Amino acid sequence: MGLAMRGFSVLVVGRREHLLAETASTSPLIEYLVADITTASGQDLLVHRAQQASVIHALVNNAGTLLPVGPLKDNSTSAWHESMKINLDAALILPQKLYPQLINKRVLNISSGAAYHAFKGWAAYCVSKAALSMLTRCWQLEVDEVAFASVLPGIVDTDMQAMARVGDQMDTAQVEFYRQLKESSRLVSASTVAAFLIWLLVDVDTSTYTSKEWNIYDTQHHSAWLKPPHQVIHWDC
């Protein structure tokens, strides 16, 4: 919605049509595509739709899953691979397939603090997000004509975070920590994260955009984009 308010056409992609349609209904500049980007057919659908656009300003790789949650010794191979396909593979495959249209444009990969902190029961998520951050760095090393960056959006008030607060396969202290963040209103709102991402995609110059992995809790950039009613409350682990 924020990008549409700035005058950009937006294509949202996912598997659940009712949620996509709900998002698209908020602006005539937002369209949606029902596609599973973990499959070749879904990727081809997205590429075909993107090729119909006169220009692509940016690609945001936001697909993610916390599953499978549980001990590593019990993770099935199929569930592990599905996690990697959702959290990691699209960030390789989609820029490859869309590369000609992304020249002189931007790719933003949504990583996580879990890329740098191991959590009990979250091995697939932690490993895939760590790999995503490294994949971004490798893209940056190898190409100059497409601007890649990754971002840590913080602990966001989403359905995934709700799942984390009831995880019976997780460390009890971690579950309680998330519950306390929710109860004390210290989770980052989705609209605040959106404001941060829009600033990165639209307002930051290219050399700055690619200069580091962005962390929403880093106060050095807050003055540039963090305006009321948005707030980011840091916490001590």
- Residues annotated catalytic, as ranges: 125
Do the Cβ atoms of 19 and 33 come closer than 8 Å?
A: no
Q: What letter would DSSP give residue 199?
A: I
Cα–Cα distance between 60 and 50 in angstroms, integer?
Answer: 13
Q: Which structure tokens are listed for 4?
A: 């549409």
Type and span of the H or E element at 82: helix 77-84
Q: What letter would DSSP give residue 165?
A: T
**CB-CB neighbours of 108 under 10 Å:** 22
Cα–Cα distance between 170 and 67 in angstroms, integer?
Answer: 12
Cα Rg, the chain, nearest whole Å: 18
